[in-house]
Amino acid sequence: MKEVNLNIVARDKTGKSNSKYLRNSGKIPAVIYGDKKEPSYIAIEYPKIVKELARTGFFSTVFNLKLDKKDIKVLPREIQTDPLNEKPVHIDFLRVNDNSKINISVPIIFINDEKSPGLKSGGVLNVVRREVDLICKIKNIPEKLEANLSNLEVGAVIHMSDIKLDEDVVPQISDRDFTIATIAAPTVMPVEEEKPETEGEEGEEGAEAKEGEEGAEVKEGEEGKAEEKKEDAKETEAKKDQDSKK
pTM of the model: 0.66
Which residues, in sequence order, are CB contacts of 197 under 8 Å at separation 6+? none
Residue pair 73/97 in contact by the 8 Å Cβ criterion: yes
At 140, give phi and psi (nearest 5°): -105, 10
- The answer to whether the Cα torsion of 147, 150, 152, 153 is positive or negative is positive
The predicted pLDDT at position 218 comes to 44
Residues paired with residue 136 on neighbouring β-strands, in sequence order: 102
If one looks up domain 99-189 in CATH, what number appears? 2.170.120.20
pLDDT, tens digit, for every residue of 30-52? Answer: 999 998 899 999 999 999 999 99
* DSSP classification of residue 66: E
How far apart are the C-alpha atoms of 222 and 210, rounded to whole Å? Answer: 18
Question: Options 1.10.1040.10, 2.40.240.10, 3.40.50.2300, 3.50.50.60; which CATH number does 1-97 get?
Answer: 2.40.240.10
How far apart are the C-alpha atoms of 66 and 48, rounded to whole Å? Answer: 13
The predicted pLDDT at position 199 comes to 53
How far apart are the C-alpha atoms of 7 and 160, rounded to whole Å? Answer: 37
How far apart are the C-alpha atoms of 27 and 200, rounded to whole Å? Answer: 80
The predicted pLDDT at position 57 comes to 87
Distances, alpha carbon 86 to alpha carbons 76, 79, 82, in Å: 17, 10, 5
Residues of the chain short of pLDDT 70, as ranges, are 1, 188-246
Exposed/middle/buried for residue 181 (C-beta within 10 Å: 0-12, 13-18, 19+): buried
How far apart are the C-alpha atoms of 94 and 117, rounded to whole Å? Answer: 44
User: In the chain, what are the domain boundaries?
Assistant: 1-97, 99-189
The predicted pLDDT at position 41 comes to 96
**How far, in whole angstroms, is CA 38 from its chain's centroid?**
45
How far apart are the C-alpha atoms of 228 and 195, rounded to whole Å? Answer: 55
The predicted pLDDT at position 154 comes to 96
Helices (H), the chain: 16-24, 46-53, 117-120, 200-245
Residue ranges with strand state E in the chain: 3-10, 27-34, 37-45, 62-67, 70-81, 88-95, 101-111, 124-127, 131-137, 145-148, 157-159, 170-171, 179-184
pLDDT, tens digit, for every residue of 105-143? Answer: 999 999 999 999 999 999 999 999 999 999 999 999 998
Residues paired with residue 73 on neighbouring β-strands, in sequence order: 64
N-term to C-term CA, the chain: 145
